Chain A
Amino acid sequence: MDALGPRFERFLAAVEPDRAGRVIACEAITGGYSRISARALVRWRGGAEETFILRGDPPPGSGVFTSDRDAEWDLLTALSAATSIATPAARWYDRSGEYLGSKAIVMDCVAAVSLQDEMARAARVDTGAGPLADLFVDTFAQVHQTPLDLLPAQMPRPPDGPAYLDGVLAGYDRMAGKYPSSAPVLRYVSWWARAHQPPPVPLGLVHGDCQPSNVLVGPSGPPLVIDWEFGHIGDPREDLGYYTQIPLQPNVYWADPERFLGRYRAATGLTEEQVNPRVVDYFLIIGMAALLEQLLVAAAAIGAAERPGILASYLINAISHQHDMFLAICDRLS
């Protein structure tokens, strides 16, 4: 058990003082680029056991991707309280980091596997990922149709779709002004993207890291959507564009884009003019904006006193990869 175990036990004593929770095991979960996660087995007074996932911020000044844990907690609790989006139950929140060393959310650990793993298994045994692809599409179509009035009041709400897109593209111009190595590409891309805006759709809840790895499926019950740290109100097509660049195989969008988008249109009521492969291509540019900015911030911090860690240097390649993808999109859609 590492040092997190005793800290978690003190936290449990504070939030569940009558249950005498003992941490039996606590181990870090590797993988993922942003939050620090751990799995902890707890035995309560009377012998009942529960397993939890602890999801916290990396130490200040380290890591590449930053997000607001308060906002994630607010969104998680709003989703579970008022919407049909299923997530693992969010049990407690160390809002100050006093107990767990950083702001950390504690969730139930569910008996489920990642939809990505299920898709890979289906591909291996040659049963095909079609039904699982449909489940993925349906899950995110449902996310995107979440009534916005059920979301936390403090979530930023753009006035409408076009204004939202303008804001994202203005963000690219801002990045171009701050990061000279990327400025030529970003200036070209933002100018191009302004001239090729697709027809608008209603704003919706955007997950921000839309991929089957963030959907858990169990033997029963609805799929559970996890990792909401980049959730925001925006253009739902961002999630579709974002998913197209996920390298984990199988990628069920690329397996059959028409099937994927046909099902999405049927589930959302959006038209073919609003959702088609070219539009999805466009929205890769929009859906990557926030992450690209964080990559650029981290790259600029390399060599500073508070270094962001090896991930920042490693992900410089991701910046180059995005430059390449963005320019290729401009070429394909021009």
Chain B
Amino acid sequence: MITRPTTDVLIEDCCRELTEAILPGLTDETLKLRLVMTETVLRNAAVRAAHEIAWMREETTALLDYAGRVAARHGSEALRAALAEVGPTDSLHLADVADRYERAGQAFTAALAAAQEAGDADLVAEARELLRDRIATEKEVMATYEVVGR
């Protein structure tokens, strides 16, 4: 396959086309607004395309590690079931990575619930740190997001 320009660069080029060539020619205010929103979505998609598989795999490892440690201390049936649902996979196809990431998230959520119910403040605090990392990633995707159209 043709590897360069990479997907993110192609999308960013589309963004430039929209904002520099097409937007100035629009007169309908509603269409202008929709184009600005579309360009924002594409810009976010460019960031995701460049990194999302790596980000999801890294976070999946951290979430499962946390869930495993909670299970060792405060194992619950729900947590064991959620962990069993994750399963191993080496696939790097986006849909497979996203699916495993979501299952790891569900195991993490069950682990957090178990830690909360057990009153384990240390494990709850650890979960908060993992969520901090997750938010940092989401903010990186948001890039220069500003509310438009309100």
Contacts and interface: CB of A to CB of B under 8 A. Distances in A.
| Count class of interface residues, chain B | 35 or more
Interface in B132-150: 132, 134-135, 138-139, 141-142, 145-147, 149-150
Contact of A327 (B38, B44, B103, B135): B135
A323 B138 contact: yes
A318 B40 CA distance: 12
Interface in B103-150: 103, 105-106, 108-109, 112-113, 116, 127-128, 130-132, 134-135, 138-139, 141-142, 145-147, 149-150
Contacts of B102: 180-181
Contacts of B29: 30
Nearest to A186: B109
Interface of A: 28, 30-33, 176, 180-181, 183-185, 187-188, 191, 213, 247-248, 310-311, 313-314, 316-318, 320-321, 323-324, 327, 330-331
Given A32-B150, A321-B142, A184 B105 contact: yes
Interface of B: 29-30, 33-34, 37-38, 40-41, 44, 63, 102-103, 105-106, 108-109, 112-113, 116, 127-128, 130-132, 134-135, 138-139, 141-142, 145-147, 149-150
Q: Is the interface of B mostly helix, strand, loop or mixed?
A: helix
B135 A188 contact: no
Given A32-B150, A183-B106, A314 B132 contact: no
A164 to B, nearest CB: 23
B109 A181 contact: no
A52 B132 CA distance: 49
Contacts of A31: 149-150
A331 B129 CA distance: 11
